[in-house]
Amino acid sequence: MSDKDSKENEKVHTDFKERMTYGEYLHLDELLSAQKRLSSHHDEMLFIIIHQVSELWMKLILHELTESIYAIQKGELASAFKMLARVSNIQVQIIHAWDVLSTLTPAEYIEFRDKLGQASGFQSYQYRMVEFALGYKTPHVLKIYQKSPELHEELTRAYESPGIYDAAIQKLAEAGLDISSDVLHRDYTKLYEKDPTVEKAWMRVYKDVDQYWDLYQLAEKLVDIEDRLQQWRFRHMKTVERIIGHKTGTGGSSGVGYLKKVLDHRFFPELWDVRTSL
């Protein structure tokens, strides 16, 4: 070891009797002990970790989406752009998680699938909150969470709140673009349906980028997020098909059939239609 390396090592902190460690800061004892297999099968560890990691990423997505909605409402679009760009990059990580899970073969999964009972990713409350933040409101899913009054209340608040597209449309109106009052004062618990005044407003933005630069940037950030969410949904569907074919999901859904159906939903329809109209 060189004298330089020796001196560098002398600077490294090694006495943590009175100091917080890396593991303590991250609560690694709790985090790394949360992978509890219900079977003795080797590959159940993969199944658990992939889903736990995805839930952690979704926690960060929700953190960023929630704050970005507030930022848009306050007119702090530059801050919102940074958060939304981060969301898009997080989505890339979750999309690639399916590549790891797809190494699980049908023969391997069937060895522990029965241990899951009725537990299913369909019940992920964080994923539902992501959908709510993006404006996809489906009332029947709230019933899944009645077991926990506190969680049900949290989900209900998110269900009744405006989504990020509602905040974006409000900005269109504040910029002087003509938006139907029915859209501006709509019931946020209803699934958003495209509106001709909103499409016309986005058309104006895309035709006069210099005048509406911030709104144009916002539109493209939203397109990025929807694009990657649909990529995630597609990879989810293909991974499920690869592992269990067209069997019914553990949560009772039609499995691949359900996942194919939701691929048809568009979160920000006018932002896609305007591309054809330009």
pLDDT over threshold 70, residue 16: no
Segments making up each domain of the chain, as ranges = 41-111+124-276
pTM: 0.90
Helix ranges restricted to H, the chain: 3-11, 22-25, 28-32, 44-73, 77-101, 106-109, 125-133, 149-160, 164-174, 181-184, 196-207, 213-244, 256-262, 269-277
Across 262-273, average pLDDT: 94
Q: What is the pLDDT of residue 255?
A: 76
Residues annotated within the binding site for substrate are: 47-51, 109, 113, 250
The separation between CA 117 and the C-alpha centre of its own chain, rounded to angstroms, equals 25
Classify domain 41-111+124-276 by CATH number. 1.20.58.480
Helix ranges restricted to H, 102-191: 106-109, 125-133, 149-160, 164-174, 181-184
**Coil vs helix vs strand at 177:** coil
Q: Would you place residue 135 in the very low, low, confident or very high pLDDT band (cuts 50, 70, 90)?
A: very high
Each residue's pLDDT tens digit, 65-77:
999 999 999 999 9
Residues annotated within the binding site are: 47-51, 109, 113, 236, 250
pLDDT over threshold 60, residue 173: yes
Q: What is the pLDDT of residue 237?
A: 92
Residues annotated within the binding site for heme are: 236
Q: What is the pLDDT of residue 261?
A: 85
Q: Would you place residue 130 in the very low, low, confident or very high pLDDT band (cuts 50, 70, 90)?
A: very high
